[in-house]
Every structure is written in C-alpha cells, then in structure tokens.
Structure 1
Amino acid sequence: MTAELPRPWFVYLVRAANGALYCGISDDPQRRFAMHRSGRGARFFHTSPARELAYVEACADKSAALRRERAIKRLAKPAKEALVAAGAGVRL
C-alpha cells in the first residue's frame, strides 16, 4: 500500500492594477491567479483588477501556508515589495 504524499500548498502575492499586493494561499497558484484575473475569487480585485502573480512561495502543507500568509499580511508594504524584488519564492 502506498501512502499519498500531501499536496504542496503555496502562499502568493498578486499585484493589482493600482499597485497593491494581495496575499493568499492555494494548492494551485496559477489557477487561483486566473480566477482573480477573471473577477472571481476575491472582492479585493473588484476595485482594481489583478495584473500579475508577483510572488509564490512553497509551503510544507496548508497549515504552514496559512501561518506564512498571516506573517506576510502583517508586513508593511515595503517589506512585501522586498519579497517580490528578492524573488526568493518559487517561480511557476
């Protein structure tokens, strides 16, 4: 019997047209970004559409992704911009 490995989860930042950064988690950040671009997924993008998937970071599991999301959301915008600029996340 083979045990299934847990699906990886990711924390991501999406840049809106107005320059704001939205932080979220997903097991498929590309699919989730497509939802944001189409106007589904988060009310955040109703006032300023999603423009780019700016940052993606892999996490061990959903719980770890939620913790990391909470930590990133507490950061000031310059610190979030530094994450994006450093490109330390996973590129999909």
Structure 2
Amino acid sequence: MPTKKKKPAAKAKPAKKKWQLYVLLCKDGTLYCGITNDLERRISQHNAGKGARYTRGRGPVSLLRSWPQKSKSAALRAEFSFKKLSRCAKDAYLAA
C-alpha cells in the first residue's frame, strides 16, 4: 500500500501591520501628519533626522495621536483630508 506524503507544516505568516494616520508635534510647535504601517519605527526615523524633510530640523517630535486605517489608500485619503484643515480645526480634531 502506498504511503501518503505528509504536507509540510504551513509557516506562520507575519501579521500584516495596519496602516495608521499619525500626527506629531514638532519642537517648534508645528504639526506634522503622515501615514505608516510601523508607527514606532517611523517616529524613531523622524527623531533621528531620517524621516520627512519637514521634521528634520524640527525634532525631537512627539506623537499627539494616531488612528488605525483599513488600508493604505484609506490612510492616504485621511491624511489628505487632515492636511486640508486649518490649524484651529486640526487642534479641535485632536482634542476630540
């Protein structure tokens, strides 16, 4: 009787990281908004001067708030909408 070959054990896929919209407070009091799927790494990049050009001379930065998004495209749309707001409206949105 032929023996059945065993299927190799399925390797666990690393968990997909969720996209997030985040807002940083720069040391000069300005806000920076961006998206990422690894928030800790991204904030470290900003503080190391290797993040966005805007934050390079304005560090250190601190995280004010972040919101999970369903997908990268949803995160991009949320970022675009947030960046269109006035500073007063952004502050109100962050306070809520």
Q: CA RMSD in A?
A: 2.0
Size of the alignment, in residue pairs?
A: 85
Deviation beyond 3 Å, 4+ runs, structure 1: 4-7
Match of 1:89 in 2: none
The structural deviation recorded for 1:46 is 2.5
Instruction: Among all aligned residue pairs of Structure 1 and Structure 2, give the percentage whose two residues are the same amino acid.
Output: 37
Specify whether residues 5 and 30 from structure 1 end up closer, same or farther in structure 2 by C-alpha distance, changes over 3 A only.
closer
Q: Partners of 1:73 and 1:37 in 2: how far apart?
A: 21
Match of 1:66 among 69, 76, 80: 76
Cα offset, 1:18, TM superposition: 0.6
Which residue of 9, 13, 24 corresponds with 2:34? 24
The residue type equivalent to 1:14 in the other structure is: L
Matched residue type, 1:40: K
TM-score scaled by length of structure 2: 0.78
1:41 counterpart residue number: 51
Q: Given the two structures, how large is their TM-score scaled by the length of structure 1?
A: 0.81
Query: Matched residues in 1 for 2:51 and 2:19: separation?
Result: 17
- Higher Cα Rg: structure 1 or 2? 2
Shift of 1:29: 1.3
Aligned to 1:80: 90
**AA partner of residue 31 (structure 2):** L
Which structure dedicates a bigger proportion of its chain to strand?
1
Unaligned runs of 5+ in 1: 87-92
